[in-house]
Structures are given as C-alpha cells and as structure tokens.
Amino acid sequence: MKKSLGLVAHDEKKQLLADWCKKHSTKLSQLDLYSTGTTGKKIIEYAGLSVTRLASGPMGGDAQLGAMIAEERLDGLIFFIDGLAAMPHDVDVKALIRLATIYDVPFACNQSTANAVLELF
C-alpha cells in the first residue's frame, strides 16, 4: 500500500515548500500527496507533482488533514510554519499539530525536519 503525506505551508513559506517538493520530487512522486488548496496548487504548478487538493487552510483544509490523521489515512505531515506571522485560523493549526502528536504521525515544520521525515518513507 502506498504511503500518504500531507503538505501544507503558511503563505510566506509556500514557495519554500514548493522548492523543497521540486528538489525531492522523485521520492514524493511515489507517495499519495494531500495538501491544502493554495499550497497544493503551488506544488502542482512548480514541482509538477500529483497532489489531491483539499480546502484552503482557513476554509477547513487544516481540519481535513487532521481528520485524515485521526482516521489513520495520513502517514506523515509536512507543515512549513511561518513562526513570525499571526494566523487568523491559529486554532485550526494547533489542532492539526495536536492530532499529529497524539496519533504519533511523523511531523515536520521546516526543511531540516522535512528531510528527516521523508527518510522514513
């Protein structure tokens, strides 16, 4: 069975995630990828990967990824977080991180940890 990975990034980190995805496209192309809407669009356009796009983060995409974790349908999560910007949907972001923690899903919040998580796949 194919492993699945969630991909999401705050606005100021979307290009950084798209660059990371392009760099690791060979390995990522072997996974089922899920992403919030805007992040997914950028990854598809820039890295050329096949990504199932969910709703945008503020419109429920973070919650959809969290539900996938709770249903044990997501094997890992890459979430490039902008630690300097206030997020209006911060509660959803915290809930997603909490679910990844509770369900012991490998979770990365920057390039260094994303590289480590990808090695698990």
Question: Which amino acids are annotated catalytic?
Answer: 62
CB atoms within 10 A of CB 5: 25
Q: Which residues contact residue 3 at a Cβ distance below 8 angstroms, ignoring those fewer than 6 apart?
A: 31, 32, 75, 76, 121
On the 0-12 / 13-18 / 19+ scale of CB atoms within 10 A, 33 is buried
